[in-house]
Amino acid sequence: MNKCYLGVDIGSISTKGVIIDENFNIISSNYIWTEANPIDAAKKLVNSLNIPKGYKLSGIGTTGSARKLIGLMLGANVIKNEIMCHAYGTLNFYPDCKTILEIGGQDSKIIILNNGVITDYSMNTLCAAGTGAFLSSQSKRIGVDIDEFGSLALKSKNPVKIAARCTVFAESDLIHKAQLGYKKEDIVAGLCKSVVLNYLNNVGKGKKIKEPIVFQGGVSKNVGVVKYFNDILNTKIIVDKNSHLMGAIGAAILSSKEGTDREFNLNMNDIKFETIGYECKGCSNNCEIVRILKDDKLIDSFGNRCEKGMQIK
C-alpha cells in the first residue's frame, strides 16, 4: 500500500483540498466555495476527493482561517498557519523561489525566502483593502462576472486611475469614474491596477522583492492583476497552474513531514458536527466560547480568556 496525504485550506471565501502521494505529486484536488459554512464545505470537499486504489490516507493537514475547527473535525495531525503552508507548498515546485506574493479572499501576504528558508513575511493588518473580497464586491457593482474580470481588463488601453490606499476611497473613486462614463474595461483595468499598487504599498512596504517571484492565492487567477504586477515590478512573475492550491499542498506536505502517520477515515457523511457558541457568564468579559460537538459529544471548546471558561459541560 502506498501512503497519501490530505491537505485542506479553508479560507474565508473558498475551500481547497488536495491529496498528494509520498513524492508530493498531486493525485486529486478540488476547489469549492466556503459560503460561510466551513463544516459543510469541508464535508463536501472531502467527499469529492477520491483516494485511488492501492493508496491509504496516512496524514491530514489543515490551514486557513478555519484550520482549527476543520482540523478538529477531520482529526488532522497538523494544523498550521497559512504562511508556513504557502512557503512549503511553493518550495516544492519552485525550490529557488525568493518571493511569494499571495492575495486571498480576506488577507494578503508576502513571504521572502532565502535558500528555501523564510527570512521575512508580512500580512495585511486591520484592513481588507486590495484583497479578493474587494474585487468580488466591486465586480458585482459593475456587473461583470468575477471570472471574466481579468480578461476584460486586458482589453483596456487606458486604465483609469483609482486611489490605491484605501478600499473606501477606491470605491468612491470608482463610482465617480463610472458616472463620468468611462468604459467598463478601463474601470476594471484600473481596479486591477489599484489592487497591485495597494498590495505593494501596504503588504510589500519595505520588503525587497527579488526574483523568482511566485504569485498565488485566488486573485492570482485574475490575469489582469498578473499583468499589472508584471508591469509595475518590471519583471515576469510566475503563476503556477495550481497557484490556488498551494496552501493546501503545503498543509499536506507538512502533514507527511510530521512523522505521525496513522490511518485516517474520511467517511464523514454519517457523523454530525455542530458548533455551538455560548457566552460564559463568569465575568463581564462574556467570552464567546465555541464548543464543537461530534455526534452530540463535546470534543473541544475554545475561546475562553481565563480558567473560568474552561469547564467542559
Please select the residue that binds another protein; options are 165, 182, 285, 291, rule is CB under 8 A.
285
Q: Which of 52, 75, 95, 116 binds another protein (CB under 8 A)?
A: 116
Query: Peptide bond before 52: cis, by omega within 30 degrees of 0?
Result: no
Taking CB under 8 A as the rule, which mask of x and - marks residues 121-140 in contact with another protein?
x-x-xx--------------
Angle (CA) 286-289-290 rounded to 5° is 155
| Binding segment toward another protein, per CB under 8 A, in 167-175, 186-194, 196-204, 279-287 | 279-287
Using CB under 8 A as the criterion, what x/- string covers residues 180-209 for binding another protein? --------------------------x---
Closest CB to another protein among residues 232, 306: 306
CB neighbour list of residue 96: distance below 8 Å, 6 or more residues apart: 212
Smallest distance from another protein to CB 228, Å: 26
Q: How far apart are CA 305 and CA 58, in angstroms?
A: 35
Of 234 and 284, the one with the shorter C-beta distance to another protein is 284
Phi, psi (5° rounding) for residue 188?
Answer: -60, -40
Query: Residue 53: is it exposed, middle or buried by C-beta count within 10 angstroms (0-12/13-18/19+)?
Result: exposed
Alpha-carbon Rg for the chain, nearest whole angstrom, is 21
- Contact with another protein (CB under 8 A): which of 259, 269, 284, 312? 284
Binding to another protein by residue 277, rule CB under 8 A? no
CB of 94 to another protein, least distance (A): 17
Cα–Cα separations (whole angstroms), residue 124 to 84, 121, 139, 152: 16, 10, 22, 27
Query: Least Å distance between CB 284 and another protein?
Result: 4
What sign has the CA pseudo-torsion 177, 179, 181, 184? positive
Candidates 29, 34, 62, 65: give the one binding another protein (CB under 8 A): 65
φ, ψ of residue 187 to 5 degrees: the values are: -70, -45
Q: Looking at beta carbons only, is 115 or 179 nearer to another protein?
A: 115
Minimum CB separation from another protein for residue 286, in Å? Answer: 6
Whole-number Å distance between alpha carbons of 230 and 212: 12
**100 close to 87: Cβ distance less than 8 angstroms:** yes
DSSP 16: E
Cβ atoms of residues 20 and 246 within 8 Å: no
Helix %, strand %, coil % of the chain (to 5): 35, 25, 40
Q: Which of 158, 172, 286, 311 binds another protein (CB under 8 A)?
A: 286
Q: Where in 72-101 is the site for another protein (CB under 8 A)?
A: 80-84
C-beta closer to another protein: residue 82 or 185: 82
x/- mask, another protein, residues 217-256, rule CB under 8 A, reads ----------------------------------------
Where on the chain is the footprint of another protein (CB under 8 A)?
65, 80-84, 107, 115-121, 123, 125-126, 206, 283-286, 305
